[in-house]
């Protein structure tokens, strides 16, 4: 793994630990059930970051093997939102998350665990920068299963936004590349939209 990527990972984990330290410190001063729930969610988020780091390490050392199975995209995305720790954060303003089911296939074939990790990372980034709305979709295009996460935030122009995508995008790209069908591989893309906001795309063959 490159020194640059290692530095991004360490920085990301340090920030997560700092947030958790602050929440636990507040709990020691005044027991607050909402803060207790937030500290618990932060622990879950940190565990998922560490899992992502280990997945990246495995990808760089040995490669990832996707275990392809039949999955209902609608059930999969509903569960993604329902169990995402940042969605239920008491420290963040409520944001509307919708699932666009236009052209969504009934069944798709991918590694549910790995793709869940990738979309978790992308959704966390969208939740961090969205002003009020996030849209998640899945469709079949040109023989690929395409997941998208769109937010109404500032896009990729801010320094903070660019820095925050380092670990998440590296993880998403490793997971995408683990999905292959004959000579086709998965891919990711992140861009700023013309009318504002960012669009993350994960394409799986």
Write out pLDDT tens, residues 19-52: 776 776 676 666 666 666 666 666 666 766 676 6
Average pLDDT over residues 186-194: 94
Tens of pLDDT, residue by residue over 136-179, are: 999 999 999 999 999 999 888 654 544 455 567 888 998 999 99
Share the mean pLDDT of the chain: 80
Give the pairing type, strands 198-204 and 144-151.
antiparallel
Tens of pLDDT, residue by residue over 92-108, are: 557 889 999 999 999 99
Top-level class of domain 3-204: alpha beta
If you search the block for the tokens 């920030």, which residue do you land on? 15
pLDDT at 110: 98
Burial (CB count within 10 angstroms: exposed 0-12, middle 13-18, buried 19+), residue 2? exposed
Identify which has the larger pLDDT, 73 or 125. 73
Say whether pLDDT at 180 is over 90. yes
pLDDT at 90: 46
Give the pairing type, strands 144-151 and 133-141.
antiparallel
pLDDT at 163: 47
- Summarize the chain as % helix, strand, coil (round to 5): 55, 20, 25
Tokens of 48: 């998922």
DSSP-derived letter for residue 157 is G
Average pLDDT over residues 114-125: 90
Q: Which residues pair with 136 in a beta bridge?
A: 99, 149
Of 3-12, 72-81, 187-196, the least confident: 3-12
Measured CA to CA, the distance from residue 167 to residue 10 in angstroms comes to 9
pLDDT at 162: 47
Per domain, the residue ranges of the chain are 3-204
pLDDT at 87: 54
Q: What is the CA radius of gyration of the chain?
A: 17
Percent of the chain exceeding pLDDT 70 equals 63
DSSP string, 100-116: E-TT--S-EEE-HHHHH
């Amino acid at each position: 793994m490159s020194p640059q990527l290692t530095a991004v990972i360490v920085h990301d984990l340090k920030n997560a630990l700092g947030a958790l330290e602050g929440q636990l410190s507040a709990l020691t001063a005044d027991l607050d059930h909402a803060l207790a729930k937030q500290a618990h969610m932060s622990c879950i988020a940190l565990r998922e970051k560490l899992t992502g780091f280990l997945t990246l390490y495995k990808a760089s050392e040995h490669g990832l093997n996707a275990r392809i199975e039949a999955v209902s995209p609608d059930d999969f995305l509903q569960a993604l939102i329902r169990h995402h720790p940042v969605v239920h954060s008491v420290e963040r303003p409520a944001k509307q998350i919708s699932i666009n089911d236009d052209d969504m296939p009934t069944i798709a074939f991918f590694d549910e665990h790995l793709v869940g990790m990738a979309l978790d990372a992308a959704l966390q980034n969208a939740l961090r920068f969205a002003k009020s709305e996030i849209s998640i979709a899945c469709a079949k295009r040109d023989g690929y299963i395409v997941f998208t996460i769109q937010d109404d935030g500032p896009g990729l122009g801010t320094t903070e936004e660019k820095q925050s995508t380092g670990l998440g995008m590296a993880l998403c790209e490793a997971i995408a590349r683990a999905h292959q069908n004959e000579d086709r591989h998965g891919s990711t893309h992140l861009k700023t939209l013309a009318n504002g906001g960012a669009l993350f795309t994960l394409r799986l063959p």
